[in-house]
A and B are shown apart, each in its own frame.
Chain A
Amino acid sequence: YVLTQPPSVSVGPGQTATIACGGNNIESRSVHWYQQKSGRAPVLVMYYDSDRPSGIPERFSGSNSGNTATLTISRVEAGDEADYYCQVWDTANNHGGVFGGGTKLTVL
């Protein structure tokens, strides 16, 4: 199973960033999202498409429909600049985790 993400997204402070994750009929799967700041370990920011772990700001939201899952960050701040990865668990071919290629969010 393949997850496709745009390599980069750029927005200005205070704007809304939308990061897409494409996959065949991805709406039938649970999608999780991770934020990875430079030189740091990844952090889970969204699970089961649209649930936020404790401590993740409400500015972060998620959705999943058709062939695209989306992570949306409202009122973007400089501190949101990071790489973002989507992930699913593939039970069809080989039980295992699958990550998208990652999207670099740049805050202009």
Chain B
Amino acid sequence: EVQLMESGGGLVKPGGSLRLSCAASGFTFRDSAMNWVRQAPGKGLQWVSTISSVGDYVYYADSVRGRFTISRDNAESSLYLQMNDLRVEDTAVYYCATSSVVVNAIDAFDIWGQGTVVIVSS
């Protein structure tokens, strides 16, 4: 069974940092692009970042570029999101999601974790 488990969320003050992790199992992690998508309270889904299967391509939303860094460890089947200079508007549930694991669609998000909550507040 394909599973994604996020961790690392919490309460942080504006300007602070957090590192999110996503542990993957049930599929060949090194073959799949991985993504972070977030959802602010009561709002819709917002794509945050994508990393290619071997980590040679990374993409960021304009709202996080320069502050967030996506990375992966294929040996550990883990995905990360280093978040620096956090802002109140970064408050959200952060989901990790796979691409092209259960469906052959490189730009869709086919399996999602349950999410981890990040609250940025003073």
Contact = CB atoms under 8 A, between A and B. Distances in A.
Interface stretch (A8-16, A45-53, A60-68, A70-78): A45-53
Nearest to B111: A44
Interface string A75-103: 00000000101011100001111111110
Interface string A35-62: 0100001111001100101100000000
A87 B109 contact: yes
Interface string B42-77: 001111001000000001111000000000000000
**Max count, chain B CB within 10 A of own CB: residue among A96, A99, A100:** A96
B80 interface: no
Interface centre among B105, B111, B115 (most CB of A within 10 A): B105
- Tell me if A's interface is mostly helix, strand, loop or mixed: strand
A94 B37 CA distance: 16
B interface, how many residues as a size bin? Answer: 20 to 34
Interface string B22-34: 0000000000000
Contacts of A95: 50, 59
B41 to A, nearest CB: 12
A87 B108 contact: yes
Nearest to B102: A53
B50 A53 contact: no
Given A85-B44, A97-B37, 14 more contacts: A32-B107, A41-B112, A42-B37, A42-B95, A47-B110, A48-B108, A51-B103, A51-B105, A53-B110, A87-B108, A88-B107, A94-B62, A99-B44, A99-B45
